[in-house]
Amino acid sequence: MQKVIFTALLLSHALSAASDHIRIFYSANRQGEIEPCGCKTNQIGGLNRMAEKIMAASKSGDYLIVDSGDTFFSTPKLNENRKAQELLRARLIAKSYRQMGVAFTTPGDRDLAGGAAYYSELLAESGASAVSANWVAKDSTLRLSPYQIWSRDGLKILVTGLSAAEGVSPAIAEMVEPRRAMEGVLSVAKKEAVDFVLVLSHLGKETDEKLAEQFPGLFVFGAHSMDSLSEPIAIGNSFVLQPGTEGQQLGELQLEKGKTGFLEHALHDLSKNFDQPNAVKSLMQEYYASLKQVGLQDSADLLPGKSSYVANPFVCKNCHQKQFDFWASTKHSSAFLVLYAKKQHYDPQCIGCHSLGFNVPEGFSQLSSAILLSPQKKKGFAEKLLEKTFSGDREGALDSSENPARYRRLHERYWKEVRKLLGNAPNAKNFLGVQCEHCHQSRANHVQNQSRGASGVSLESCQQCHRPPNASPLDPKSLVVVACPKMGQLNKEKP
């Protein structure tokens, strides 16, 4: 009996929800991130998870999705080496936002990294409108409106934006003082008798708080200052909100017509509970496949001519068998496997810490040249080696702590293939994985002249990879865990 009453209550709630209630989903500070790297377990975030959360919620009532900028790129200026990939990634974000139905955004200082025209293309692709009350566009390709009015079922919401305060070239936009910009917009809000005013602000929490103090009744969805606010900050009857960075969280705010304040608020961690196959996940897979095309095309050859890396542990093995055997048993030696398993082995965001010498002149720039059998015979071996290693394995992302048996199996197969291909190739180079020369510096001269190099392996050499945001800071004690066996008395024993 009780159960029936409960259902009836829910139903009447859902009916009234259709007109008076609205949920605002908000994100900000994505910084070009599409999903967590997987370097640590239980990382949060991911475009596919955001889509899943929104789809689940969309079944119950109206909602509006807003994003307060720094959405498309990781930096205000693109790294030339990675430009092609960054532009593609921004497109993926735009397409995913269209799938989700993101309605409004405002430009952050990183959004114009691809130029004003590219930003407008991204907006068109995403279906979102950029609102900005404090930017007056000078570049004719930049599409902005000072505010927009969104209405449905008698509910009227004005959405405006306050865009980035720094790093905007005067050729692109002229800045109006935020307070003055808001006065103009609020006079419209009054005339139009809107129910709510939402401000997408890229000015940072401090400025947002001042605005909330100056103007009553605002919902300020902030960004830029990297504050993850688990609860909205109430200032009078205005509120300041901000979710976590890098797409890790999605905020949800419920409003009701005629009521000041809000009904409910939640800041959702986008955890693996939201991992379901969905349309955005498919877009992400397409993106990874397209990275492979870019990786193969991009032939700005930084090929290792006079390499200062030996990049061949089999050479070291001749004199350091014990150390070689130890290293070959560690996950460092097979650290490229996890990228291949996620189909991210062409992703320049990942390769650097899972291999040696990526994008430096003495290393490699394309995966196809990450293994060179000899200086003459160039390409194609890395992909083949990994294909063979993974043949028959259909399990997707590889996490050694979740599935240690599978990792061990792949590690062993990898080493079988590596020995076959490289075991007797003294002139070959193999840049995959964490190598001897990551920890022991370049050894090009040492092989000819075995004088001691700088003694001791420093913790700093580890921290080039073991660092946030990808990995946790390293416990200094773990130096012991990876330390190769001692050479022993050199004059009595072969090293």
Q: What is the total count of residues that contact ligand HEC (CB under 6 A)?
A: 68
Closest of 32, 26, 44 to residue 92, by C-alpha: 32
How far apart (Å, rounded) are the C-alpha atoms in residues 359 and 345? 14
How far apart (Å, rounded) are the C-alpha atoms in residues 390 and 409? 10
Our CB check for ligand HEC shows the closer of 10 and 459 to be 459
* Binders in 471-490 for ligand HEC, by CB under 6 A: 471-472, 474, 478-479, 481-484, 486-487, 490
- Binding flag, residue 289, ligand HEC (CB under 6 A): no
Residue count of the chain? 495
Our CB check for ligand HEC shows the closer of 59 and 452 to be 452
- Binding flag, residue 158, ligand HEC (CB under 6 A): no
- Least Cβ distance, residue 124 to ligand HEC (angstroms): 27
Residue 452 carries which DSSP code? -
- Least Cβ distance, residue 355 to ligand HEC (angstroms): 7
How far apart (Å, rounded) are the C-alpha atoms in residues 231 and 234? 9
Name residues whose C-beta falls within 8 Å of residue 279's C-beta, 6 or more positions apart in sequence. 51, 99
Q: Beta-carbon neighbour count of residue 247 at 10 Å?
A: 27
Our CB check for ligand HEC shows the closer of 230 and 329 to be 329
- Least Cβ distance, residue 357 to ligand HEC (angstroms): 10
* Binders in 311-330 for ligand HEC, by CB under 6 A: 313, 315-316, 318-320, 323-324, 327, 330
* Binders in 27-66 for ligand HEC, by CB under 6 A: 37-39
Spatial contact of 90 and 70, defined as CB atoms under 8 Å apart: no
* Binders in 396-435 for ligand HEC, by CB under 6 A: 399-401, 434
To the nearest 10 degrees (0 to 180), the angle between helices 404-422 and 381-390 is 140
One-letter amino acid for residue 203 of the chain: L
Closest of 108, 116, 263 to residue 200, by C-alpha: 108
- Pick from 354, 367, 368, 422 the residue near ligand HEC by CB under 6 A: 354
Q: What angle do CA 437, 383, 371 make, to 5 degrees?
A: 35
Place of tokens 């608020």: 265
Alpha-carbon distances, residue 19 vs 7, 195, 237, 258 (angstroms): 20, 12, 23, 12
- Least Cβ distance, residue 443 to ligand HEC (angstroms): 4
Name residues whose C-beta falls within 8 Å of residue 346's C-beta, 6 or more positions apart in sequence. 288, 291, 292, 294, 295, 296, 367
Our CB check for ligand HEC shows the closer of 61 and 247 to be 247
Stretch of 44-52, 102-110, 140-148, 468-476 lying at the interface with ligand HEC (CB under 6 A): 468-476
- Binding flag, residue 342, ligand HEC (CB under 6 A): yes
How far apart (Å, rounded) are the C-alpha atoms in residues 141 and 441? 49
* Binders in 382-401 for ligand HEC, by CB under 6 A: 399-401
- Binding flag, residue 190, ligand HEC (CB under 6 A): no
Structure tokens that stand for 384 in this block: 């083949």
Stretch of 117-125, 254-262, 288-296, 332-340 lying at the interface with ligand HEC (CB under 6 A): 332-340
- Pick from 29, 74, 349, 430 the residue near ligand HEC by CB under 6 A: 349
How far apart (Å, rounded) are the C-alpha atoms in residues 443 and 437? 7
Our CB check for ligand HEC shows the closer of 255 and 311 to be 311
- Least Cβ distance, residue 484 to ligand HEC (angstroms): 3
- Binding flag, residue 347, ligand HEC (CB under 6 A): yes
How far apart (Å, rounded) are the C-alpha atoms in residues 225 and 205? 6
- Least Cβ distance, residue 267 to ligand HEC (angstroms): 24
Place of tokens 């890395």: 382
Our CB check for ligand HEC shows the closer of 254 and 290 to be 290
Q: What pairing do the DSSP bridges indicate for beta strands 264-269 and 238-241?
A: unpaired
Question: What does the per-residue mask of binding to ligand HEC show for 60-99, with x meaning CB under 6 A?
Answer: ----------------------------------------
Our CB check for ligand HEC shows the closer of 299 and 329 to be 329
- Binding flag, residue 452, ligand HEC (CB under 6 A): yes
How far apart (Å, rounded) are the C-alpha atoms in residues 419 and 277? 37
Instruction: Assign 3-state DSSP to the chain and report helix, strand, coil percentages, each to 5.
Output: 35, 15, 45
- Residues near ligand HEC (CB under 6 A) are 37-39, 310, 313, 315-316, 318-320, 323-324, 327, 330-332, 334-335, 337-339, 342, 344, 347, 349-350, 352-354, 399-401, 434, 436-440, 443, 446-447, 450-453, 455-457, 461-462, 464-467, 470-472, 474, 478-479, 481-484, 486-487, 490, 495
